[in-house]
Amino acid sequence: MPQVERQAARERFLQFLEQKNLRLTSQRKAIVDAVFATDRHFTAEQLLEMARKHDPTVSRATVYRTLPLLTENGLVHEMDFGKDYKVYDPNYAEHPNHNHIICGDCDKIVEFESDKLDQLENEITHRLGFAIKSQQLRITGSCDELKKLGACRNKHS
């Protein structure tokens, strides 16, 4: 996300907290800062790690309480890849139609967009008498490392 949009999104979220009568504690601020400093997908545990770089006192509980606020506000998108944890995507506001390919072993996620795919989805939707609201395609596969080495070095623990 470009810096200007990042700032605007951050402001929107702070207003949203105000509307909900939620205080912007320094822990919550650290979480928000961490979210707006990354373009990468993250898990709750990774967010905790990132937030602690801004404020070492951030607790796991605060992260788990703040994440639903971020998803409710549309700032991050919660994704279920069928794992025992959710993945959060900070890139949805900017690219709502992007797709994901994920390695079945190390959970490496790569984003992609495709005009062809968009076109195909439009055609199918039109043919079935629907109007598209959102679309996402998720592909599970073997990353380069898994293909070449038979194992992924950065396996998610």
Interface stretch with Zn ion, choices 12-20, 32-40, 51-59, 90-98 (CB under 5 A): 90-98
Part in contact with Zn ion (CB under 5 A); list of ranges 7-15, 23-31, 95-103, 116-124: 95-103
Decide if residue 105 touches Zn ion (CB under 5 A).
yes
Which residue intervals of the chain are DSSP H helices? 3-19, 26-36, 44-54, 60-72, 115-127, 144-149
Q: Which range of residues in 9-17, 44-52, 101-109, 131-139 is near Zn ion by CB under 5 A?
A: 101-109
Residue 47 is a binding residue for Zn ion (CB under 5 A):
no
Q: Which residues does 146 contact at the CB level (< 8 Å), separation at least 6? A: 103, 104, 105, 106, 152
Tell me the HSE value of 119 on the side-chain side, using a 13 A CA sphere. 3
Give me the residues that bind Zn ion (CB under 5 A), please. 89, 91, 103, 105-106, 108, 111, 143, 146, 152
